[in-house]
């Protein structure tokens, strides 16, 4: 295979990625056909369910630092504080795209935001009854203890999940379970006046970050012990080779879990919800409405110098993952919004080097992410605010505009 920017995928890694795609293609036969007939009358009130990790939540290290230790979720909803500017792509998308569509007869409510900072594809699924059913239904999928931000560090979410106080949920509810319950609650009655008509999902970035940190740790330990790495070259070069070596397995994991998440949402009636042991009829709902799956931008791209990535090969690796994730989303009738290259409107591309405009990448990553944020919090824990991979207030707005452009 012809190398791209010095990176070639081995056949074995291509086969691994193909495995996840085969799962998606196999399950696509089960996907509900979205209505092709004329749209029914709009309900009086419509709901948007925004799900995912810290991006859905509206997180940045600076906001966290400034508000430590209380971390009230509402503090993440506008930034800078007191500016009345919405923060976080879920609130931005509602403010700039959905709210302007409101009429006297039909209006969008403020989003139901279940975002959890630090969430991975595993913790999004959770280790409850839905996670166990998915592991059986989608080979290779995996769930783990949900939302450490809530259950371990005890911070609050915009939309709290049912916690460990529920006797039928001793480990605490997951974000996927909460989302499925919200869909059932609001959509099971065909005559509901407040149905969920849009679901957005951004998940997987923390899986990738874990892979980066694992390679950095491995290489550091090798150099400290041996003065060299089995991956060769300098520490930076060794990390690059390490990431390339493990990319296939990591991508398969993300894609397989994304497949499982979409299976659960589209085919909720096949899954028993957490209190099924009390009520055997407590199943989810087959959601046939609009889903936007948000892709990945590369915060480790060329932040300071055109063409010089902070993490070599990171942009091309993200290109590959976005390409494959879009296939998975499409198989389930979801729209894929790719913030890295923003095919529908390149003005919103976080990494314009991927579309032949490398000179623009540093200024965009500096303005749209906190990777060049070298300030220190003035209050709270008075810690460093960066470098931080999360978007700035402007970056969140651009991210939401990309959703609108790619998924009208």
Q: Which domain holds residue 57?
A: 48-199+247-406
Question: Shortest CA distance to 219 belongs to which of 207, 198, 200, 233?
Answer: 233
User: For residue 57, what are its two tokens?
Assistant: 């939540």
For residues 206 and 254, the answer to whether their CB atoms sit within 8 Å is no
CATH code for position 100: 3.40.50
Question: Shortest CA distance to 222 belongs to which of 212, 210, 231?
Answer: 231
Structural domain count of the chain: 1
For residue 40, the tally of other CB atoms under 10 A from its CB is: 8
CA distance 78 to 246: 38
Secondary structure of 150-214 as H, E, C letters: HHCCCCCCCCCCCCCCCCCCCCCCCHHHHHHHHHHHHHCCCCCCCCEEEEEEECCHHHHHHHHHH
> Whole-model pTM?
0.89
For residues 86 and 95, the answer to whether their CB atoms sit within 8 Å is yes
CA distance 105 to 44: 6
C-alpha 156: how far from chain center: 19
User: For residue 72, what are its two tokens?
Assistant: 């009230």
For residues 379 and 361, the answer to whether their CB atoms sit within 8 Å is no
For residues 300 and 310, the answer to whether their CB atoms sit within 8 Å is yes
Q: What is the pLDDT of residue 165?
A: 41
Does the residue 211 lie in any domain? no
Q: What is the pLDDT of residue 12?
A: 38
Question: Shortest CA distance to 248 belongs to which of 194, 310, 320, 196?
Answer: 320
Which residues, other chains included, contact 267 with Cβ-Cβ below 8 Å and sequence gap of 6+? 30, 32, 286
For every one of its 408 residues, what pLDDT tens digit does the chain have, with 9 covering 90 and above? 223 233 333 333 344 444 444 544 444 444 444 443 335 578 999 999 999 999 999 999 999 999 999 999 999 999 998 899 999 999 999 999 999 999 999 999 999 999 999 999 999 999 999 999 999 999 999 999 999 999 999 999 999 987 444 434 444 689 999 999 999 999 999 888 999 999 999 999 999 999 999 999 999 999 999 999 999 999 999 999 999 999 999 999 999 999 999 999 999 999 988 767 666 567 889 999 999 999 999 999 999 999 999 999 999 999 999 999 999 999 999 999 999 999 999 999 999 999 999 999 999 999 999 999 999 999 999 999 999 999 999 999 999 999 999 999
Backbone angles phi, psi at 73, to 5 degrees: -55, -35
Cα 174 to Cα 147, 150, 268, 371, distances in angstroms = 7, 10, 15, 30
Does the residue 19 lie in any domain? no
Q: What is the pLDDT of residue 281?
A: 65
Does the residue 394 lie in any domain? yes
For residues 115 and 60, the answer to whether their CB atoms sit within 8 Å is no
Does the residue 262 lie in any domain? yes
Q: What is the pLDDT of residue 278?
A: 63
């Amino acid at each position: 295979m012809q190398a791209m920017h010095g990176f070639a995928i081995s056949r074995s890694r291509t086969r691994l990625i193909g495995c996840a795609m085969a799962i998606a293609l196999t399950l696509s036969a089960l996907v509900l056909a979205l209505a092709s007939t004329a749209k029914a009358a709009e309900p009086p009130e419509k709901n948007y369910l925004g799900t995912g990790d810290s991006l859905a939540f509206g997180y940045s290290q600076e906001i966290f630092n400034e508000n430590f230790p209380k971390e009230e979720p509402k503090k993440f909803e506008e930034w800078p504080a007191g500016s009345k500017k919405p923060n976080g792509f879920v609130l931005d998308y509602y403010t700039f795209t959905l709210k302007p569509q409101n009429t006297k007869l039909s209006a969008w409510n403020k989003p139901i935001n279940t975002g959890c900072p630090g969430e991975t594809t595993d913790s999004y699924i959770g280790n409850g009854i839905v996670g166990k059913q998915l592991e059986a239904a989608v080979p290779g999928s995996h769930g783990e203890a949900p939302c450490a931000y809530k259950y371990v560090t005890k911070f609050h979410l915009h939309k709290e999940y049912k916690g460990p106080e529920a006797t039928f949920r001793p480990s605490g509810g997951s974000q996927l379970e909460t989302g499925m319950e919200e869909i059932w609650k609001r959509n099971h009655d065909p005559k509901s006046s407040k149905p969920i008509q849009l679901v957005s999902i951004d998940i997987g970035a923390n899986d990738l970050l874990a892979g980066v940190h694992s390679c950095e740790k491995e290489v550091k330990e090798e150099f400290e012990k041996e003065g060299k790495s089995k991956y060769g070259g300098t520490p930076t070069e060794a990390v690059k080779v390490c990431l390339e070596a493990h990319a296939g397995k990591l991508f398969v994991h993300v894609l397989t879990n994304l497949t499982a998440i979409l299976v659960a949402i589209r085919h909720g009636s096949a899954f028993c919800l957490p209190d099924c042991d009390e009520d055997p009829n407590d199943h989810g709902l087959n959601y046939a409405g609009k889903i936007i799956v948000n892709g990945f931008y590369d915060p480790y791209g060329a932040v300071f110098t055109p063409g010089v990535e902070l993490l070599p090969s990171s942009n091309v690796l993200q290109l590959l993952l976005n390409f494959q994730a879009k296939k998975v989303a499409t198989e389930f009738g979801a729209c894929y919004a790719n913030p890295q290259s923003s095919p529908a409107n390149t003005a919103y591309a976080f990494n314009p080097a991927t579309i032949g405009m490398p000179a623009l990448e540093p200024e965009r990553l500096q303005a749209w992410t906190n990777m060049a944020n070298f300030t220190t919090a003035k209050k709270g824990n008075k810690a460093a605010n960066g470098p931080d991979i999360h978007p700035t207030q402007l970056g969140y707005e651009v991210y939401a505009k990309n959703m609108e452009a790619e998924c009208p």
